[in-house]
Structure 1
């Protein structure tokens, strides 16, 4: 666990005006990713994305989905930003407050960064919200089970989602910030890019050598990725072959569906763009298409910042850990107690 720290280097970024925005600028417009930066290359000639790219600086209360009251605005007004900034500063004091009181709670667990001006991570649809489910999407969502659902009994391992079971956070969930474990590191070798993620100790392997995809009958929790280089600085990654099912993934970031009930089908596809816009910046964008679950594709965008000194901690959780058994035992005991007749009374 890390103490939540407001990094001075990020403060100027968070408090600055929206890039390229005049005072009367259109707050609904997200500028396209610049492509004029010339990235340095590896010894084998590919753009060099290697290094630490943690997304803890994005953990500043920006939601996945936009508040409907904000309409199609991609950025906060000055007044809205001031309110978010004040809320974030209060959250950042939790660690210090707990220390002064000799206690340890959420302040020692959850990390918070500076506020930023984005109204949502989702950029399309224009309202910044997840599209409606299809009829089948609603059915699959209704079958999902996890510890995020309230008043759900637990009898066996299939009453938990893959994140509960420490198997995977899945995609696209793993690419969004959470309240902890936001480490990212990119490694490269000829024909291969590897993206190490702190949460659930996973590493995405992305071949860039043109090899064909695997048979459609084979499914992986994180899908199967293939990448190629475009416009000099952009790594484009297409991922298919996701493992389907009602418990395949949960988004689990601020502003996502409250019960994390977002299923995945065999037809899901994710197309990502990693565009290096400076020596220490990457604009990360993706589009998620799943016609079985959603009525239309949806897209998101996050701005990454280099931090090669960020230390990735051990994610001490694995499939078969004791917590699943504890949930089941406690749930069974609770239900058994509820069926017992009330004790006491007069004789």
Structure 2
């Protein structure tokens, strides 16, 4: 599932101005971010827990970036005029969908369509500039050693030259809790003592609540980590996760506004605190606080809304089926280097029996743009 397509479409009925104002919570001062409202009391399950069961696809926030684009300055919110200017694009794309339907040529437009029009300018709410903090020196170093199909200029000799997402293992955590361009479905199941979050793309989280979970012993980790949940104020699920297995990028490059390369590192010190606030019958405000002092100069918090859509249907994410791209990348890259050697452009001949060791120091090429996070 390498070199993921980044085209997208927009459904016209999804403009933010059609969202309930309470869900958007747009203040008069667009440079301020209000607190999450706490007044809503959700229904309860038969055993008495707040009832979060349902389907919560992330399509309506697929255009919301993590880092704020410079055009919005220090504003957390777009102006009404900026939202209105998006309507032309929405209508144009809807016409394209109709043409696909009429011609019987349904393709990428429908495959990865999403809803757009959020009034928010970024997911980052922990800083006025709407930007993720900088890496520490150690974070820069660890990023330079990560490898992925998204990294420009690196070579490919073995499966370890690809990240866990390239290899259909996992998007990682907390990356899996943020939108991509397709397969954005999230479904919540509950049973006494547990909340289960089923992800349409690669994975399921099982979260013990009400004291059911125990912290894992030292040396034990997992890509989704060790999560323990508790109910707060009758409308919020708070989940603390540690023991997260390093390796996958903390945030995926295909989530808008994330630094390039899919090479955001994680140390063993990383911890995540999530708060799932039910703020209305069909809205959850998801808030994620991330801490990893080895990699980042400061903690940060991301926040965005989930919208219920129980008519949404999960599509099979058959990432492993026909995933020939890992071999294709290796074969094509070795062939390219053999041709460069034949032309005298390379000093060292390519060993046709080369195994897992990379053919070059991963910090020597393709990392010059990763000394900082980038845009």
Q: Which runs of 5+ in 2 are unaligned?
A: 345-375
| CA separation of 1:257 and 1:19: change in aligned 2, threshold 3 A | closer
Aligned-pair distance for 1:338? 2.3
Q: 1:288 to 1:20 in 2, by over 3 A?
A: closer
The answer on whether the counterparts of 2:138 and 2:294 sit within 8 Å (CA) in structure 1 is: yes
Q: 1:336 to 1:326 in 2, by over 3 A?
A: same
Q: Distance in 2 between matches of 1:70 and 1:10?
A: 19
Is the CA contact 1:63–1:120 (under 8 Å) kept in the aligned structure 2? Answer: yes
In structure 1, distance between residues paired with 2:167 and 2:304: 27
Distance 1:36 1:53 in 2: 21
Distance across 1 between alignment mates of 2:174 and 2:133:
15
1:14/1:117 contact within 8 Å kept: no
Matched position secondary structure for 1:158: helix
- Residues 259/97 of structure 1: CA separation in 2 closer, same or farther (3 Å cut): farther
Correspondence for 1:113:
115
TM-score by length of 2: 0.82
Which segments of 5 or more consecutive residues in structure 1 lack a partner in the other structure?
A: 343-347
Contact 1:181–1:199 at 8 Å: present in 2 too? yes
Which residue of the partner structure matches residue 73 of structure 2?
71
CA RMSD of aligned residues (A): 2.7
2: CA distance between counterparts of 1:278 and 1:244? 35
| Alpha-carbon distance, 1:216 to partner | 2.8
2:336 corresponds to: 334
2:213 paired with 1:208: no
Q: Structure 1, residues 253-301: CA drift from partner, whole Å, max 9, x if none?
A: 0111122221111011110001111211111111011111100011111
State how many pairs are aligned. 336
Partner of residue 251, structure 1: 252
Distance 1:31 1:288 in 2: 20
Q: 1:16 to 1:281 in 2, by over 3 A?
A: closer
Moved more, 27-36 or 232-241: 27-36
Q: Deviation at 1:28?
A: 1.7
Counterpart for residue 54 of structure 2: 51
Change (3 A) 1:326 1:105: farther
Native 8 Å contact 2:227 2:240 kept in 1: yes
Q: CA deviation at 1:115?
A: 1.3
Rounded Cα–Cα distance in structure 2 between residues aligned with 1:92 and 1:129 = 32
Structure-1 residue corresponding to 2:190: 188
The normalised TM-score by structure 1 is: 0.88
Shift of 1:184: 0.5
